[in-house]
Chain A
Amino acid sequence: MRARVALLAYLAAIVLATTVHEIGLLALGLVLVLALAGREWLRILRRACLAILLFNLVVTLSYAAIAGVQGRFSLDYVVLVNLRVLLLTCMTFLFVSRVNPFEALAFSRSLTYLFTLAYGQSMAFKQVLDDFRLAFKSRRIEKVGLRDRYRHSARVGAHFFDKSLHRATEITQVMRSRGFFDD
């Protein structure tokens, strides 16, 4: 219940943050979010800055160059958009660090199972993909050509396809044997 309320509050705060165009209010919102983060405020702020750095830097620098040439550069806009993106990202990281998303989605049993299974499988697949990458890296002496890189990527994709269909059958059987579909 608490997680669901937190999810609704988070979504409402996200919408609110995108309807406010006052730099002062957005800055106040950021201070509030960081205060709510408690001891984690610096970790969340650092993580959010890193997450938005690349895209925001490209947009800001391009805006400065184009708007500067056209003579309509506005520092207020630069501060507003970067502050808003930072606030939204900090809110998301605070939500993720405080609330269990699986609990937040517990209003639907099917959705919870789907989300849990998808997350578990995704993490397992990611680990195997990392292993493949390391194996590919460790077994090459010379620079690998374009054709071989394509072959490698295609084989990796096909491997996960194989694995996915086998896993789907396996999980269905496991769920059936435990009476999941009997209700």
Chain B
Amino acid sequence: MSKIIPVNRFEIYYNNLIKKSDFINSAFIDSNIVISAYDEDHSFNPSTMVLLDLLTDKDFNLYTSVIVRSEVLNYFRKQYISKIILEHDILNKVRPVLKDKIENYMKQHDILSEKLIKDLMSDFKIKYTVWKELCKSCINDPINKIYDLLISNKDFTYKSPQDDPDLFTVERIPWDGAKDIIATTGIGSADAMIINIFNYSKSPFIVTNDLDIAYAILCAHKINKDVLTSEDQYKKLKKYGFPDYYFF
């Protein structure tokens, strides 16, 4: 049975963990942890740093999937597009109904949704060459630089069973596992793929601040691995109505 571990109880959990014969000093990292670690302005940045400091102090090898790397790039892409939209008076060139939608959305969010970005791109009043120029000037260079950073630095390693068989229980990830997770928990495909890879990893726990991931792991009965999260997210999860035995 999976358990949710709050960061302040990790020491006790860890002391139990190292007594196990199959213990490996590797932690599987979810995309929101990489994103909030790398975005200094992210609301989860302080709690993520607490989690990562704790794990690095104990010499954990922090690894994740290449899917996470693409999610990190996608996050910064959306962040830059959102910034462009606000910095370039683009909103004055789109249909008033779309302008209202975006302005209302940005009152509560820092980053545009994928749907609104698509609406913007297809808005007939923005010439495609304007969009291309925006991408060339404000997205192309930073995305390439971030990609190079993700490839070259050693903060997290992006692994598959082919890269490092010792970190996984199978030689190839069976992708129908992701389908089963979608079917049993209703979670989106990107999250389901990450949970599926985690499920076939040897790491006993995933580090995440994403409630959807934690929720799905508790709901997916075939998963018998734990979730390490911040104290705040732990408290929120407790309100979801899961029985107490799920909480470490």
| Chains A and B form a bound pair | no
Give chain B's interface residues, CB within 8 Å of chain A: none
Give chain A's interface residues, CB within 8 Å of chain B: none
